[in-house]
Amino acid sequence: MKFESLEKQIIECRKCSRLVNFREKIASEKRKSYMDWDYWGKPVPGYGDINERMMILGLAPAAHGGNRTGRVFTGDKSADFLFKCLYHVGLANQSNSDHRQDGLKLKGYMTAAVKCVPPGDKPLAEEKINCESFLAQEFEIMPDLKVVVGLGKIGFDSCLKFIRKSYSIKMKDFKFGHGVRYVLPNGLILFGSFHPSPRNVNTRKLTFEMMVQFFETLKKDILK
């Protein structure tokens, strides 16, 4: 399957009525500081280079980030932090991720386990299941994929659930944590990382130095 075809499938999806209603409500009401924006308000597909060896897998688009701009980790504080780190280690061509036409190039592919913004950043189990087929196709269109970064536990677990469809693994054998590294039965290397949320950054659960060191470590696996 070509990426353009998958992207079209994702953008047109209306499977989850709760998420459809919420994403469109956010796009209609807008945040005061973004009243001049034409909000995206649809499912947000992944972006980047599908021929690279790294996938960054997050939870879901942010209400006024991806749901506004149409690109995951774009236009919010999580994106600001993440791309400063990616740029610092040479995995992105610039330190900002502001909108779909900002010239950003990523040495990898970035996506979310759930394609629509969920209320309270908490998707329901059935909503996560509805998106699993999209994620499976994203794995399949990356011929040279070697490293998966699970940003937060849901992103991390979503990779394991994909692997579990083909291999007999137990989720409890793969403990999530920042910097954990597992070689999966199909040869993929799964890293866990704390999510670069404002809460984690402001409380210093995750620092710039920690994230830079994390990406420097996984770069060694990408380059092998």
Tens of pLDDT, residue by residue over 144-175, are: 999 999 999 999 999 999 999 999 999 999 99
Q: How much is the pTM?
A: 0.96
Q: What is the CATH number of the domain that holds 143?
A: 3.40.470.10
pLDDT at 191 > cutoff 90: yes
Residue 58 CA to residue 152 CA, distance in Å, equals 7
- Structure confidence by residue, pLDDT tens digits, 102-142: 999 999 999 999 999 999 999 999 999 999 999 999 999 99
Report d(CA 149, CA 55) in Å as an integer: 6
pLDDT at 1 over 90: no
Count of alpha carbons within 13 angstroms of residue 162, beta-carbon side: 26
- The domain tally of the chain equals 1
- Structural domain of 66: 3-223
Answer yes or no: are the C-beta atoms of 70 and 59 closer than 8 Å.
Answer: no
